[in-house]
Amino acid sequence: MVLGMYPHSPTGEYRLLLYPCPRSMLDEPAPDAQDGAHVFALGSGQPPRHIGCLEAKEAMCSPGIMVFDTIAESFRLMCCPIVPGYADLFEKGGILGMSGLNDEETSVEIWVMRDYEGEVWSLKYRVELPVAEIRVQFGKFEHHWEVVATSWDDDVILLVKSDDWLLQVDMNGQLLTMK
């Protein structure tokens, strides 16, 4: 399974980050298969190189993000803000961002990483979703939303999906468009 593709700047190669995945849950892993991630240089005649992974216990005991360093080709845990519910990562202008929808599904917090080396995050926006306006326009509106923050025209907007609707909401909580 391909987890990502990246340029490896020390060599100028493009590489794939791979994780072995059985064809089905019933498949047994090959006897010589190594657990963890592998790196494959595109165009290389060499087999993928095993690089390992963080121990599951280490990853589970810390609220953090598993980060892959594309130069050292190694994993580490990075601190992250505590956001309610499910969080999504995004990038805008070279800055890492994280968004999370509150449990009541009425507001979204947008955090940005101010200092990558120091792992310092700051709250940039708390957006109140236009719940009343959405209900007026759509009538009975199920209260289970998927919300993703994304970069758009030098700003950040929220994409809100529910049932058959996709809505765009700006950082002031204004409903922009609906499809």
- pLDDT, one tens digit per residue, over 22-50 is 655 555 655 556 778 999 999 999 999 99
Sheet of 165-169, strands arranged across? 146-152, 155-162, 165-169, 175-178
pLDDT of amino acid 133? 86
Q: Record the pTM.
A: 0.72
Choice among 35-44, 52-61, 72-81, 131-140 with the minimum mean pLDDT: 52-61
Average pLDDT over residues 112-132: 92
| DSSP state for residue 52 in the 8-state scheme | E
Burial class for 51, CB neighbours closer than 10 Å (0-12, 13-18, 19+) = middle
Degrees, nearest 5: CA angle 16-120-97? 55
Output 28 or 110, whichever has higher pLDDT. 110
Integer Cα distance of 19 and 37 in angstroms: 5
pLDDT of amino acid 50? 92
Residue in this structure with the two tokens 């089905």, named with its chain if needed: 24
Quick: pLDDT tens for 47-66. Answer: 999 998 766 555 555 678 88
Which sequence spans correspond to the domains of the chain?
A: 2-79, 87-178
pLDDT > 90 fraction of the chain, expressed in percent and rounded: 35
Integer Cα distance of 122 and 111 in angstroms: 6
pLDDT > 70 fraction of the chain, expressed in percent and rounded: 84
Integer Cα distance of 121 and 143 in angstroms: 29
Q: What is the mean pLDDT of the chain?
A: 83
pLDDT range class, residue 115, cuts 50, 70, 90: very high
User: For residue 65, which phi and psi values (nearest 5 degrees)?
Assistant: -110, 135
| DSSP state for residue 32 in the 8-state scheme | T
Cα end-to-end distance, the chain, whole Å: 33
128, 173 in Cβ contact below 8 A? yes
Average pLDDT over residues 131-151: 77
